[in-house]
Structure 1
Amino acid sequence: MSKLTYHKRFQMERRLGPGLRLPTLPTGYRLVAWSPERLLDHTEAKHLSFAEEIDSQLFECLRSAEGCERLMREISGKNGFLPAATWLIEYVAGPHKIEPCGTIQGIKASPRMGGIQNVGVAPLHRGRGLGSALVAAALVGFQQAGLTRACLEVTAANEPAVRLYQQLGFRRTKTLYKAVEVAYSLG
């Protein structure tokens, strides 16, 4: 049996202004600009970031590596895809050990608005400012594309993400509800 449950999500926006620049990352981490050859690294970072999180309950594609790859191919194939607002963070653990650990994608949502898609940082790398760095890099990319505003959606129950976006200047503009079918047993 299954039933519908609703998850509250916030649409958030902010203006882009002067002073935006690419962030400095902690030692051992590096920001990597989008290239199609790195799609599978974005996929790995996305899967590590979302597989065990609340958003994987809302968006089935985030539950598996295959779903994350389909999502990356879909986003990067959109007409409004913005490579300049799409970034990967890698952790360099040694000369032959490099781990994709963070990802963000940007799209042109309207003539003036950039849309942030799927900010993700793998659990072992959280708490180091990498999420802020990804958003800052995407905002620079939006500004380079001539956009003046940025928007995103976040699940309300993801309080750390909501706080992060508020600290980065995003303000809630709308509350949405995402319907999800949940399986349950009677016995």
Structure 2
Amino acid sequence: MALTYFKRFRMEISLADLPEEPPLPPDFRFQPWSGEILKRHAEVKYQSFRFEVDANVFPCLGDSEGCFRLMREITMRDGFLPAATWLIENHDPDSGHWRPIATVQGVRDREGKGSIQNLGVVPGYRGLGIGAILLIRALYGFREQELPQASLEVTSQNIGAIRLYERLGFRIASTVYKAVEMGAVQTSTHA
């Protein structure tokens, strides 16, 4: 099978001088990590990534069950950090329920630095600053654990995310290429 290579940037930020943590807009709330909301994180991950280029790079992101397995694997890692793992919910006035709309997970890597695993915001809630607020909350979680630095990887085609990360203080540290078998690559209407 032929391979397709996706260019990705590894971006890093020092945790010494973080931007101030902005408040959430009205009718939004943070949910700290607990095992009881693992499925909600997985569903938000699926809703956030299923039509995006990252579902081609990591096919599990384009599958609901794959997102559940990935979320479970992240939380079972030795370096999993609940303090850097958050869900944001929005209150629906019509139903009276809280709907999960954004997720982030953080782990301590082998070098003792923070590593963002996934940051996802459900379409329809993008452009409201939710992603920035969620990322800053995760970075503060890393800092609470006395980690010196944090990193993440982003596909080079995801210009909006790269701009967000740079605006918050992340800098490109290196470029990596992720090889994906062509049969695993899905056609995306939004990529």
TM-score in terms of structure 2 length? 0.91
Mapped contact 1:16–1:150 kept (Cα < 8 A): yes
Query: Gapped runs of 5+ residues in structure 1?
Result: none
Query: Equivalences for 1:1-187 in 2 at 5 Å?
Result: 2-18=1-17, 22-94=21-93, 96-183=96-183
CA displacement 1:22-57 (0-9 Å, x = unmatched): 431111111111011110110111011001100000
Output the amino acid matched with 2:97.
K
Distance in 2 separating the partners of 1:80 and 1:92: 32
SS in 2 for 1:136: helix
CA displacement 1:43-72 (0-9 Å, x = unmatched): 111011001100000101101110000000
Output the amino acid matched with 1:58.
V
SS in 2 for 1:124: coil
Output the amino acid matched with 1:104.
V
Distance in 2 separating the partners of 1:168 and 1:112: 21
Q: Which shifted more, 107-116 or 138-147? A: 107-116
CA displacement 1:61-95 (0-9 Å, x = unmatched): 10111000000000001000000000001111136
Distance in 2 separating the partners of 1:23 and 1:84: 17
**Percent same amino acid at aligned positions?**
48
SS in 1 for 2:174: strand
Distance in 2 separating the partners of 1:168 and 1:18: 11
